[in-house]
Structure 1
Amino acid sequence: MTADPRGRARRLDDAFLVAGSSSFTDFIGAYRPELLPSGRPLPSGASLEAPHGTTIVSLLFDGGVIMAGDRRATMGNIIANRDMEKVFAADSYSVVGIAGTAGVAIELVRLYQVELEHYEKIEGAIMSLEGKANRLASMIRGNLALAMQGLTVVPTYAGFDLETDMGRIYSYDVTGGCYIEGGHHSTGSGSVFARGSLKKLWRPGLAEEVAVGIAVEALYDAADDDSATGGPDLGRQIWPTVAVVDRTGARFVSQPDLEAHVQRIVAARRDNPGGAR
């Protein structure tokens, strides 16, 4: 609202009264661009150490999709955070996982959540899963200037497609390229090790409980070889974050269930330290 010299509220600014795009990001970009993550570029030649999120894995199961992330954030050779959340509900039927510069990534996710909620309020309908994936791609593309200065964000998006009645996984590159993945996908510093585990363990038509165990085991394998990926911390009772999305919506696996999966994997590794076969 505009200020009144006598201290009374006046009408909203004209920008709030003009019919425009259903995109909240487009509105902020036109009205207050400095509030966007990309609206605050680093000074030329500046460099800084910022916490980075690491490994995210996603896989399809019979009836939906699972996304899991480790909990470690690193800053150079230092563990900056041991219990960081990297998997978030984007809306009722999709989730997004972050890898890259943690602060920028979390801000991007929060803006994306508002973007989807704003669209539903303006249009009175849920955006299609493909539309939501493409909307995230455009937001990543808007972050390219920061990425060129080292503040890279590379999320993974997954959700349940109400039109096709199946789960889908979308990956991105730093320029905003959006790609549909097959049965499984991983991103982040430990992704190459997680992918090897997924290749051995994943198969079509998995039950949900089995798929959750595979996701946790893939992160365990990634942490075994990548120092930036945090494995399950039995002493501190810190487990990976695991989200399940199916036709009933998005939800997160409970801590007791995750602990049971971790205990099973640790017990199995006593006999087979080399991992999945």
Structure 2
Amino acid sequence: MLEETGPEWLSEEVKTGTTIIAIEFDGGVVLGSDSRVSAGASVVNRVMNKLSPLHDKIYCALSGSAADAQTIAEIVNYQLDVHSIEIGEDPQVRSAATLVRNISYKYKEELSAHLIVAGWDRRDGGQVFATLNGLLTRQPFAVGGSGSSYVYGFVDAEYRRGIRKEECQQFVVNTLTLAMNRDGSSGGVAYVVTIDEHGTEEKVVLGNQLPTFFDQ
């Protein structure tokens, strides 16, 4: 008697994909992400916001397992709230990135997530931190997710220090659009968050509002 087995896709490793980006500009940061959540060849959510607030002026961009990344963001959000009450002021962006790094490293065997942390604080202004397992580095820009492999050359060639806020916002939208055009695991709408000393601005760019780079 043959042993019954489930569908073949149940035994396959589930591959996830996304595109996330964060860039420093003169006075703040801009974060961006696509909205598609995939599981292998299937799209399980077309409009997930992958830019999660950690504090008033600190956000993180999520990639990897959606459940793992969201759990890390929720834990850090709680810890930062407690930390800000203890010190009597808003937390530093580096503190948020360090908390993310510590959790990612401690549970590196159990969790599958890569978070980019970015925000603004009074001490160091706009900052972008890449966190991966035990690694924590401040960078002028960071790109992650499966779509990043298609746009690293574009970002390296086009980014310049001292970029203005409006230029940075368009730069993020252009990068996400190029990634979504090439990466089958990225798509949907573009979420953009801009953070500076004046506050946080959230924006959604719909699919029909994204720029076009070639004749379709």
TM-score bracket for the superposition, by shorter chain length: 0.7 to 0.9
Shift of 1:54: 1.5
Cα RMSD of the aligned pairs, angstroms, is 2.3
Equivalent residue runs for 1:189-204 within 5 Å: 189-204=146-161
Q: Give the one of 122, 129, 154 matched to 2:114.
A: 154
Q: Whole-Å Cα distance in 1 between the matches of residues 13 and 149 of structure 2? A: 24
2:177 aligns with 220
Indicate conservation of the 8 Å contact 1:62/1:208, yes or no.
yes
Please give the secondary structure, in 1, of the residue aligned with 2:110: helix
Query: Which residue pairs with 1:170 in the alignment?
Result: 129
Tell me by how many angstroms 1:186 deviates: 0.2
What is the rounded CA distance, in whole Å, between the counterparts of 1:153 and 1:264 in structure 2? 27
Q: Secondary structure at the match of 2:138?
A: strand
Specify which of 242, 251, 254 is matched with residue 201 of structure 2: 251
Render the CA deviation track for 1:213-259: whole Å, top value 9, x for unaligned: 111111111122211111xx5xxxxx211111111132212x4xx35
- Whichever residue aligns with residue 214 of structure 2, its letter is R
Match of 2:6 in 1: none
Residue 134 (1) aligns with residue 91 (2) = no
* Separation (CA, whole Å) in 2 of partners of 1:78 and 1:104: 19
User: Higher Cα Rg: structure 1 or 2?
Assistant: 1
* Percent identical residues: 22
Match of 2:74 in 1: 110
For residues 39-66 of structure 1, what are the alpha-carbon distances to aligned partners after superposition, in whole Å with 9 as ceiling and x for unaligned? Answer: xxxxxxxx88668351101112221110
Distance 1:51 1:91, change over 3 A: farther
How far did 1:205 drift? 2.1
Question: Is contact 1:58-1:68 (8 Å) kept?
Answer: yes
Residue 10 of structure 1 is matched in structure 2 by none
Structure 2: any 5+ residue segments left out of the alignment? 1-10
Q: 2:83 maps to which residue?
A: 119
1:180 aligns with 2:126: no
Q: Which has the higher strand share?
A: 2
1:210 pairs with 2:167: yes
Is the Cα–Cα contact under 8 Å of residues 147 and 183 in structure 2 kept in the other structure?
A: yes
Identify the structure with bigger relative contact order (alpha carbons < 8 Å, sequence gap 6+): 2
Rounded to whole Å, the distance in 2 between the matches of 1:113 and 1:50 is 28
Alpha-carbon displacement from aligned partner over 1:123-152 (angstroms, at most 9, x marks no partner): 3232222222212211112221314xxxx1
Instruction: Identify if the C-alpha distance between structure 1 residues 48 and 86 changes in structure 2 by more than 3 Å, giving closer, same or farther.
Output: farther
